[in-house]
Chains A and B, each alone.
Chain A
Amino acid sequence: MTTPFYVAPEQMMKDRADYARKGIARGRSLVAMSYADGVFICAENPSQTLHKVSEIYDRIAFAGVGKYNEFDQLRIAGVRHADLKGFTYSREDVEARSLANNYAQMLGQTFTHEMKPMEVEILVAEITDTPGEEQLFHILYDGTVMDETNFVVLGGDSESITTTVAEGWSAGMSARDALELSRSALAGPDRELTDHALEVAMLDRNVGRRAFRRIADTDIASL
């Protein structure tokens, strides 16, 4: 019988984290921020059909960056969790905090116990009827949860993007301003991003029970 090589736990975790980070950095980034009517989410995504941002429940949205099949699996698990909870209890009882904790559990579990960590970073956003009460839960590949205020950047090159967004963000900004800020932050100094390269969606507290609204590429100009 061969004895497996001893690998220090620190080294093992570091290797896994490096692996996950590398995978996430290969994809494009995503920006979410509070705006006048709720939460504005903008991703760099040339695909019209494979979405990074989607609806979870009445007032809750989901966004993911990294490996598509992995965050899409998380998205569907989130929809099921929310719909089951809403059916068993009531629609009011479905909230982002509990969902974010569940995601953290699942990602943390995978990170420590599985061969391969999930190469994803996800966002769970929730709005209420009151402006300024938006919640942005940023969850990392290892299950770390961060409760962000005002705005959040997901993805590999997040530092430079965060700097740009932090400079341009203001409370109660319009959807148009949020879009242009996201566009310039995601593009960086050397690139231009057209409407077709963006995926735009929002949680809008003025559109009724289901607050999630996806803006088609062709409608971005008319925001």
Chain B
Amino acid sequence: MTLPQYGPGADPGPDFTAFLRRNGIEPMPVASPNAPHSPTTITHGTTCVAVRYTDGVVMAGDRRATSGNLISHRSIEKVFPADRHSAVAIAGAAGPAVEMVRLYQLQLEHYEKVEGAPLSLEGKANQLSQMLRGNLQAAMQGLAVVPIFAGYDVARETGRLFEFDITGGRYEEADYAATGSGSLHAETVVKVGYRRNMSADDAINLLAQSLFQAADADSATGGADNLRGIYPIIVTISAEGYERVADDVVGERFAAIAEAFSANHREVEA
């Protein structure tokens, strides 16, 4: 691998995807127009939620991946740091989704290094939008990727949330966002429990509660797996940056929620 050099007209600038193409690497799989619709046995990832709190945003995602009715992975990760001050959570076809995130992370880092300054939060959201638009053909054939993007806007000093659709449509949400098969349940819990300017602690609890309910109602969403010690991922993003909440803390929250839930049921039956 030699040092890449370009003349003034051919320089790809800070765009990593353009740079890859210039090197003959097609970053995302290109769907063939004649390919049949993909079977449901492709691995899918499911529920992710995010909510704003007083210092930024909290984001959470379960750990289950399914292929049709089969649980294919119990510990996949769907919440990723995009860079120091933002995160992306994914639902949809796991393969392209994970590859898209890897490329997206590199895209942001590459821009930051070449330009010497990171993209604005709005710019990062637009970048993700463009990648989704590039995946539209594949999405129409069943390889849809539907992410949510959340970050701390350093310039505006606030947390911000973005939802997307498969066409690359970008929708900024004021308070909360959710994606995936269990998102209906999760979002309802968040909607009912949401207050403006929550503490980090309350926001983490609310998201844990929402994933608990989503896992309870949606077979494709995993809850806390106490047998194996696998817990949903919860992260906070504030002025201090991206930080993952420790597994034992998440485990405790889920244990408390489960305890309250079952105590309530025992009372009803008694």
Contacts and interface: CB of A to CB of B under 8 A. Distances in A.
Interface stretch (B105-113, B207-215, B228-236, B258-266): B105-113
Interface in A79-130: 79-81, 83-88, 98, 102-103, 105-106
A87 B109 CA distance: 12
B52 to A, nearest CB: 25
A86 B1 CA distance: 11
B4 A87 contact: no
Interface residues of B, number: 17
Contacts of B23: 84
Given A51-B116, A80-B19, A84-B19, A102 B109 contact: no
Interface string B115-133: 0100000000000000000
Given A83-B16, A87-B20, A87-B106, A55 B113 contact: yes
B3 A79 contact: no
Contact of B2 (A51, A74, A76, A102): A102
A103 B3 contact: yes
A34 interface: no
Given A84-B19, A87-B20, A79 B2 contact: no
B1 A76 contact: no
Interface string B1-34: 1111100000000001001100101000000000
A179 to B, nearest CB: 22
A79 B25 contact: no
A139 interface: no
B268 to A, nearest CB: 48
A106 B5 CA distance: 10
A78 B1 CA distance: 11
B217 interface: no
Interface residues of A, number: 24
Contacts of A210: 109
Contacts of B109: 83, 210
Nearest to B102: A87
A70 to B, nearest CB: 12
Given A87-B20, A88-B25, A77 B5 contact: yes
A118 to B, nearest CB: 12
A79 B113 CA distance: 7
B3 A78 contact: yes
7 contacts: A78-B3, A80-B3, A81-B3, A83-B16, A84-B20, A87-B20, A88-B25
Given A102-B1, A105-B2, A106-B3, 18 more contacts: A77-B4, A79-B110, A79-B113, A80-B19, A80-B114, A81-B1, A81-B2, A81-B3, A81-B4, A83-B106, A83-B113, A84-B1, A84-B4, A84-B20, A84-B23, A85-B1, A87-B16, A102-B2
Q: Which 9 A-B pairs have the closest CB atoms?
A: A77-B3, A102-B3, A80-B4, A79-B113, A83-B110, A106-B3, A81-B3, A55-B113, A79-B114
